[in-house]
């Protein structure tokens, strides 16, 4: 199923860098009107300037989605400013990379606010309007970490597992309403998430893909009939998840052993 992006209004969180910025530029090049949300006003302004070359009606809002009550208000503000929203892309995310024995409750709660509660609030704010017109797409950018427990990523995985479960149940509830849900499961992507301060060094040393390749996959997913999309497909990420689900004990034992290598 094709989905023409020209003229569509797309709200993207985490749009100042990485996948969010790449997606914004790609959609604007296809004449979509993009609304951009992120914390860093200067970086966000650079992305907006690029988008306005091909989509002059695009707009931005500098905001911290860790302030979850404000997330719903921001979503409605964007709806009114853009004249509605056809696609909501919940992409913003932060890590808290450290062993669970070193985590504090406040660490986990901060990650949950940005990675799960903000998407939940923004979705629930816009959903009644999408349902009233019987059209809309909710795109939740999770992670392979939403299907696999990753070493030293307990807080991040908890937030992404929550986003996966939320997305699956929401897709069932919304069947036949005209509002669809797309769950995006990127693998290792070459973005700033690996270098954020106040995080341990990542143990992963394998290949990473460019953000633009994932953005390309998200655009394709919006026009797809499928719910879940592992990106990029060339990494065979779903095979890893299927192997884990086939023998969870073996997966845990193998992953634990990597901690000591």
Residues identified as active-site: 156
* Nearest-angstrom CA–CA distance, 220 and 201: 33
Length of the chain: 261
Q: Are strands 136-141 and 9-13 parallel, antiparallel or unpaired?
A: unpaired
Q: Within 13 Å and on the Cβ side, how many CA atoms surround 144?
A: 21
Output the CA–CA distances (angstroms, integers) from residue 85 to 19, 194, 245, in the order listed.
20, 31, 36
Q: Give me the helices (H) in the chain, please.
A: 18-29, 41-52, 68-82, 105-112, 118-133, 154-173, 211-222, 237-246, 248-258
216: left (phi over 0), alpha (psi -120 to 50) or beta: alpha
């Amino acid at each position: 199923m094709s989905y023409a992006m020209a003229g569509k209004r797309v709200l993207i969180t985490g749009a100042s860098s990485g996948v969010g910025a790449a997606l914004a530029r790609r959609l604007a090049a296809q004449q979509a009107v993009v609304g951009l949300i992120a914390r860093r006003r200067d970086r966000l302004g650079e992305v907006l300037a690029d988008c306005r070359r091909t989509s002059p009606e695009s707009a931005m809002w500098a905001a911290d989605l860790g302030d979850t009550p404000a997330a719903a208000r921001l979503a409605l503000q964007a709806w009114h400013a853009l004249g509605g929203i056809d696609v909501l892309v919940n992409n913003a995310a932060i890590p808290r990379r450290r062993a669970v024995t070193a985590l504090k409750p406040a660490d986990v709660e901060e990650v949950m606010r940005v990675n799960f509660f903000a998407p939940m609030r923004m979705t629930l704010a816009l959903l009644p309007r999408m349902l009233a017109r019987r059209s809309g797409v909710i795109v939740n950018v999770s992670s392979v970490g939403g299907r696999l427990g990753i070493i030293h990523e307990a807080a991040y995985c908890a937030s992404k597992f929550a986003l996966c479960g939320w997305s699956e149940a929401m897709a069932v509830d919304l069947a036949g309403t005209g509002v669809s849900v797309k769950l995006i499961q990127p693998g290792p992507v070459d973005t700033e998430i690996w270098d954020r301060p106040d995080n341990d060094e990542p143990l992963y040393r394998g290949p990473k893909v460019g953000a633009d390749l994932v953005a390309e996959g998200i655009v394709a997913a919006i026009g797809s009939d499928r719910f879940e999309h592992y990106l990029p497909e060339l990494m065979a990420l779903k095979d890893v998840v299927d192997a884990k689900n086939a023998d969870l004990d073996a997966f845990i034992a193998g992953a634990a052993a990597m901690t000591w290598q």
